[in-house]
Structure 1
Amino acid sequence: MNNLATSYGLIFDKFIKKIKNDTDFFNYSGLSESDIELLVNEHLNSLLDRAVDFIYRYGVPDVDFLDRDDSLQQFNVELVNQEITLLADIMYFSYVEEERNKIKSFSITFRSDELNVFSPANERKTVLRMIESLEASVVNSIQNYLARDRHTWKYKSIYNGEINI
């Protein structure tokens, strides 16, 4: 790995610290260690892909998050701490968003009285509100990131300078 690269591992470690108590993510009973490692790595890479795509929905960052090497598991640029944290945060949101997709899928598949057997309506509403709040926070973080110089963390200006707020 060259010294201007950033290992996916730095981002994955931050993400895993956020979900370390989530038994669902690590629940792969009946599989070998190598199969578990492969599945976890595929899931982590999928979440990272979604995180990068999510950033580009809101603008074009100063660093090219698409300049990466999946076989070496690295970005070919040196990411700053704010970028590593942002990617981990978006990965976490993407992971939690999978729960929203499950709830929507169950809502389509089952009648409300059947659905209440799996999860009471109040519980589903609380989870959906939490996910919406997390999404708003992530969008705010992306917009804040895109509005700042990645090295100085000062706000960008349309006048070729930096402004202090």
Structure 2
Amino acid sequence: MATSYELIFKKFIKKLKNDENFFNYKNLTDEEVEEMINDHLNSLLDRSVSFIYKFGNPDINLYDRNDELQEFNVDLVNQEIDLLSDLMYFSYFEEQKNKVTAFELTFRSSELNVFSPSNERRTVLNMISDLENSSVDAIQNYLSRDRITWNYKSIYGSGSS
């Protein structure tokens, strides 16, 4: 009765198959690259779980995990695996938002446009904002449903509507 992080990580990595930045580690051994990627994946998973708890408490304890064995101590349903991989994707792009913001604080607008035109930055920031809105909607949908039946929860206790 456990769910391996690998199930979530594989779904997340499929979303990044064309993103060269995630896998771009120069002058490192294969072991160092693997360790860095694993650390990054675990960090993204941690942020994803924390993001869910900002909106409420799920029916299961998503903090009940074994990081050493790289698994949740409960069986996650497909919707939870999908939600966590989607939130990892959002968290990854949120890191890009932080880079854009830091870049904007470092350079004057005339210097900044040499590296990255404002339309490009605005497009990236809008995409990240859309991802965030979609993530919040997905979390609210998840929290409003019974995790096993996927029926809406009811204040009347039946679990279906």
- The CA RMSD measured in Å over matched residues stands at 0.6
Give 1:162 shift. Answer: 2.3
In the alignment, structure 1 segments of 5+ residues that lack a partner are none
Report the TM-score when normalising by structure 2: 0.99
Letter in 1 for 2:78: N
Alignment coverage as a number of residue pairs: 161
* 1:8 and 2:2 matched: no
The aligned residue for residue 64 of structure 1 is 61
Alignment identity in percent? 63
Q: Encode CA deviations 1:119-163: one digit per residue, 9 max, x unaligned.
A: 000000011001000100000000000000000000001111123
Residues 104-119 of structure 1 mapped to structure 2, 5 A cutoff: 104-119=101-116
Q: Encode CA deviations 1:73-106: one digit per residue, 9 max, x unaligned.
A: 0000000000000000000000011111011101
Residues 1-165 of structure 1 mapped to structure 2, 5 A cutoff: 4-164=1-161
Q: Name the SS for the 1:160 alignment partner.
A: coil
Letter in 1 for 2:125: L
| Alpha-carbon distance between aligned partners in 2 of 1:161 and 1:116, rounded to the nearest angstrom | 57
In the alignment, structure 2 segments of 5+ residues that lack a partner are none
